[in-house]
Amino acid sequence: MTPPSMTKVDFLGQILQYKKEWTKKDDKLPDFSYADHPAAYTLRARSGDQTRYIQSALDHISQSGGGVLALETGTYLLITSLMIANGTTLRGAGVGKIILTRKGLESDFLKLGSTIRKQKRHTSVKLTDGYVPTGTNTVRVSDANGLAVGMHLMPYEPPVFASEIGIENLSMIIKPKCSGIPLSDTRCRGFNNHIDIEKFASRTTVTCVVMNRDGVTDRGAGYALDIDIGGSQVLIHNCTTRGAKNAKSYGVATKTLAAGPNACIGYTAMDPIESIQPHQRWAHGFLNEGSNGRGIAVQESW
- Residue 231 is part of a domain; what is its CATH number? 2.160.20.10
Specify if 58 maps to a domain. Answer: yes
Q: How many C-beta atoms surround the C-beta of residue 3 within 10 A?
A: 12
Specify if 150 maps to a domain. Answer: no
Instruction: Dump pLDDT digits (tens) for 144-198.
Output: 888 887 777 777 654 555 566 777 777 666 554 433 333 456 666 656 677 888 7
Specify if 35 maps to a domain. Answer: yes
C-alpha to C-alpha distances, 128 to 131, 137, 148, 150, 159, nearest whole angstrom: 9, 15, 18, 21, 22
Specify if 224 maps to a domain. Answer: yes
Length of the chain: 302
* Domain extent at residue 82: 25-113+159-176+186-287
Specify if 132 maps to a domain. Answer: no
Specify if 140 maps to a domain. Answer: no
Please say whether the beta carbons of 270 and 294 come within 8 A: no
Q: What percent of the chain has pLDDT over 90?
A: 8
Domain total in the chain: 1
Specify if 29 maps to a domain. Answer: yes
Specify if 268 maps to a domain. Answer: yes
Which pLDDT value is given to residue 218?
66
pLDDT band at 55 (very low <50, low <70, confident <90, very high): very high
Lowest pLDDT segment from 43-47, 120-124, 145-149, 201-205? 120-124
